[in-house]
Chain A
């Protein structure tokens, strides 16, 4: 019996474990998911927490309840991977041996890497979103600035989405005319997807969102309420929303498997860690230069599940990841945008409409039933 160990019980890890359980027989392998706190968090819901439209408790579930019964679950922190010995060392001294390892440890936030970050709010964790919600509730007017504190960061469209949703939020509160919304883009355009940029630029114009391009945060001065970019510009704020810098997980860095940012060099088609025939990587943890998104982790997870199942039967891996990503963005006022693309096919500029808004709302509702359980 072979051992498959999956590190991380988020989107990618859950999809791999459940899909593999479906595609393999009980006698073929033992599947073990290791997760630090045993909790699975639905991160796209954070944006709605900030607006007071989402109960934070509903965004978190016990990972055990999302896994098929035959999948073992260990709640513990993985501290080190010994790729030579094919062993994972857990906190407290326990060890797990593997024949195949899947690393799905996501990304880690590092607000401390930006001097003065304590002067900012963010919506990239549950606690951060609750803090921002409370700050927004007390906010009655002034400059609200949205900026990016480090690249790469997950869900690249999320900052633009938050600008649109804040326009909606302040309009609903009847104070939109007292709020100046400023969006500082790290790139040379306001939206990361080039073909959609003209549409989003137009939307920002209509919503009166002021934009600055090429602004990557270098430091924040909470006393004078100013944020400075590494390109040398300074912008003042009354309320700052900043995306914290990200890195790969500590266990990746401490095991010498990551690059300088802690992302694992990964073959973009096979999803094997480069130089390792028995370690797969899915989700945010890879160094593949595509969106770090739940949709990416989901599609990658299905490929890895299929490939491990085939290899356990002595067959060659049947699937290649084609770079597929699909995302929905909420543009406020019940309108949305959906985008689909892969390595070969750039996204086609879609219309902004109610149907795609409803698509996003549907995923928010059906996520727990469909995605971690690998039913789609």
Chain B
């Protein structure tokens, strides 16, 4: 993991914006993890990753949150 973004307990602007920020700032090939409690992330994060052309490596269900692991591809 090159970077972990803890976006739990944030309602505005929320975990997807933190992910977009991390991907924009990162280098191609970097692996980024985002932690989210937001129910909407289950839908939003995979959709955005697909649309923006990156790779979703894993969604790990933890006790109180989900960890999305992403690889920046371009």
Residue in chain A with minimal CB distance to B52: A231
Do A187 and B11 touch (CB < 8 A)? no
Give the chain A neighbours of B10 by CB distance below 8 A: 289-290, 323, 343
**Is A89 part of the binding interface, using a Cβ–Cβ cutoff of 8 Å?**
no
- Knowing A156-B17, A186-B20, A214-B52 touch, does A347 contact B5 (C-beta < 8 A)? no
Name the B residues within 8 Å of A187 (CB-CB).
13-14, 16-17, 44
Bound together, the chains give a CA A260 to CA B23 distance in angstroms of: 11
Which one of A8-16, A36-44, A189-197 is at the interface?
A189-197
Q: Is the CB of A150 within 8 A of B12?
A: no
Cross-chain contact of A289 among B7, B43, B48, B53 (Cβ < 8 A) = B7
Question: A343's contact among B9, B17, B43, by CB below 8 Å, is which?
Answer: B9
CB-based nearest B residue for A196: B12
Docked complex: B40-59 residues within 8 A CB-CB of A: 40, 43-44, 47-48, 51-53
Chain B residues closer than 8 Å to A150, beta-carbon distance: 24
Among A194, A216, A341, which residue has its beta carbon within 8 angstroms of that of B20? A216
A residues near B61, Cβ cutoff 8 Å: none
| Residue among B12, B17, B25, B52 with the highest chain A CB neighbour number at 10 A | B12
How big is chain B's contact interface, by range?
20 to 34
Does B25 lie within 8 Å of A261, measured CB to CB? yes
Q: Which of A151, A189, A347 contacts B24 (CB 8 A)?
A: A151
Please name the residue on chain B nearest to A156 by beta carbon.
Answer: B13
Over the window 288-307 of chain A, the binary record of Cβ atoms lying under 8 Å from chain B Cβ atoms (1 yes, 0 no) is 01110000000000000000
- 7 A–B pairs (Cβ distance < 8 Å), ordered by A: A151-B24, A189-B44, A193-B12, A194-B14, A230-B24, A230-B52, A339-B12
Having A193-B11, A194-B38, A261-B21, one finds 19 other A-B pairs with CB under 8 Å, namely: A152-B18, A152-B21, A156-B12, A186-B17, A187-B17, A187-B44, A188-B16, A188-B43, A188-B44, A189-B40, A189-B44, A193-B12, A193-B14, A230-B24, A289-B15, A289-B17, A341-B12, A344-B9, A347-B12
